[in-house]
Structure formats: C-alpha cells, structure tokens
Amino acid sequence: MGLFSKIFGKKNVVERQGEPDMVRVAHEDEGMNWAIEKAKLTLWYFATCLQNPQPHQSYFSVKVKIIDGDNLEHIWLTDPHFDEEGHLFGTVSNEPVEVKTVKMNQKIGIDREHISDWMIVEHGRLIGGYTIRAIRNNIPDSDKPNFDQSIGLYIDEGVDHFKPNFDTPEGAILAIEEAYRKEDLEAVLACKDFTTEAKVMMAKMSIEPNEETTKGLADVLEASFINSINEYGFPNFNGITCAFPAREKVTEQHWIITEVCWYADGGKSVQKINVANTANGWSVLNPVSDDE
C-alpha cells in the first residue's frame, strides 16, 4: 500500500503505476478550495514567467479542471502555453481516472477559468503547486520527508506572488512593503487605515466606540506611526521574498495573515499581521501582539 493510501485511506486514493497517486478531496475541503483560489490569484506570475522563462526555472506545469458529464477531475498539463486570447494549451501528463474525454499524452486546449493550479521549479524548489501543498498539509510531519522524496522537489513555504495592491489581504501587505523599499511615506500611509485600526484596538479592550473617541485614537495612532518612521527610519524590506501560508478569519472584515520572510543573508522570520477590508480595499493594520 502506498503512502497516500496509508494516510488518507485506500478508498480515497487511486494508486497509479509510474506516476503520482490521485487523492480524492471533498468539494467542501477548505484547504483545497483556498489552494485553488490562491493559484488563480497568483496565476499572473506563472503566465509572465512562461512567456519569458529564466535560467533558474527548470519546469512549468498547470493543473486544469476537466468535466465529463457528472465526473470531474483535476489533471496536470506539461508543455503549457497561452494563445493571444489567454486560452491554455498543454499535454495531459496524468492517466485520467474519473474522466474519459481526454487521455494520457493528448494535447488539449482549455479556457483559462478552468485552471486550478500551477507550478514552477526554481532552483529545485517548488513555487506555486498550491494543491500539492494542501495535500501535504494533511500529512503527519513524520511522513512529509517521504512525500517530498516522492515528489522529487524541495518543498518549503515557497514564494507567493500576489499583486501588490489592495484587492487581497496579501497584496496589501506586499504593497506596504514595496512602499517601505521606496521610502515613500505617502504610499505607506495609503496602505493604512488608522480609523479601522482604532476600532479594532478598542474592541480588544472592550471599549464602546463612538465617533469622537475613534477619531482621537486614530489620530494618535497615525501620529505615533509617522513619528516612529521619522525617528527610526523605514523598515528594510530590500532583498526579501515572502510567502503567505495561512489566513485566519476574525470577522468577515478582519483577518490575520501569516507571513514568512526570507532575507538575503539566509535568515527567516514568521509574523502575523492584522488586515481589514475597508471602503478603499484591504488595509494593513498592526502586527499581532504576543498576547493575542
């Protein structure tokens, strides 16, 4: 019995000779659904690299959703490329199990909306591959080395390429880090919402907010933030790469994002950051304190 069959149960795994086993995942699985969403949000990076691959990028593949009547299967394609209208073309690289409309080594085209994952191998390291990571997250730590060996790649948190804008919580964090690199205080402040930050702070202290106290605290928070930058300078995010392995929902409008940073000297840090969905998009609040 293979590794997946032992972990997930034989009825949830189809073992395939000479290629990776297929793990059946429930449609309501939150980790897998987030993995697919994350792949879609970062697909722009894959498409950009595919158009102009770099020497350190040795492999490109895309996972797509194939529908055959009532059957549905996610299958990896090799040799991917996009046409001018954004449609994806590639070669089926897994033996289909649930669907019969495609076969191994067949060249197919599919709409971009049916892409469910992508992966690039950079210096032997997995970038993207979010559905692979979702499966790996459900494996006991003691079995992860065997899983990684079966995949044949170095798997850590990776590097996540959200667009640095206010459309996603992760993008807002990347936007403020980009503003720090440029030492652009106006751009940094555009990533913040001190009114929301004041409301969150008062809620933690069980203080009933009103317009006057909220504005007063927001003004204090903004002044303190600016004074800190003037005194200590901008945080240094030069040469840093980041990944966002986890989201935690506090409310529909307030999330805690886990960020992993790698530094040019090989160092690594992990922090949790409060973000809020405001009228102007996602905004970066204060980092999570030790007592939260």
Q: What is the DSSP string of 210-240?
A: -HHHHHHHHHHHHHHHHHHHHHH-----TT-
Q: Is the pLDDT of residue 35 over 70?
A: yes
Write the pLDDT tens digit of every residue in 66-79: 999 988 889 999 99
Write the pLDDT tens digit of every residue in 214-256: 999 999 999 999 999 999 999 999 999 999 999 999 999 999 9
Q: Is the pLDDT of residue 4 over 80?
A: no
Q: What is the mean pLDDT of residues 252-272?
A: 93
Q: Is the pLDDT of residue 60 over 90?
A: yes
Write the pLDDT tens digit of every residue in 190-215: 999 999 999 988 888 888 888 899 99
pLDDT band at 86 (very low <50, low <70, confident <90, very high): confident
Kindly report the backbone phi and psi dihedral angles of residue 19, in degrees, each rounded to the nearest multiple of 5, phi listed first: -155, 165
Structure tokens that stand for 188 in this block:
């940094």
Count of C-beta atoms within a 10 Å radius of residue 31: 15
Q: What is the mean pLDDT of the chain?
A: 89
Residue 77 contacts residue 61 (beta carbons within 8 Å): yes
Q: What is the mean pLDDT of residues 87-100?
A: 91
Residue 65 contacts residue 72 (beta carbons within 8 Å): yes
Query: Cα(127)–Cα(142) distance, rounded to whole angstroms?
Result: 23
HSE-up (13 A, CA, CB side) for residue 172: 25
Task: Tell me which DSSP letter residue 193 carries.
Answer: -
- As a whole-number percent, the residues of the chain with pLDDT over 90 amount to 68
Give the residue with greater pLDDT, 104 vs 138: 104
Write the pLDDT tens digit of every residue in 8-18: 455 555 555 55
Residue 29: predicted pLDDT? 73
Q: Is the pLDDT of residue 59 over 90?
A: yes
Query: Cα(233)–Cα(235) distance, rounded to whole angstroms?
Result: 7
Q: Is the pLDDT of residue 25 over 70?
A: no
Give the residue with greater pLDDT, 31 vs 118: 118
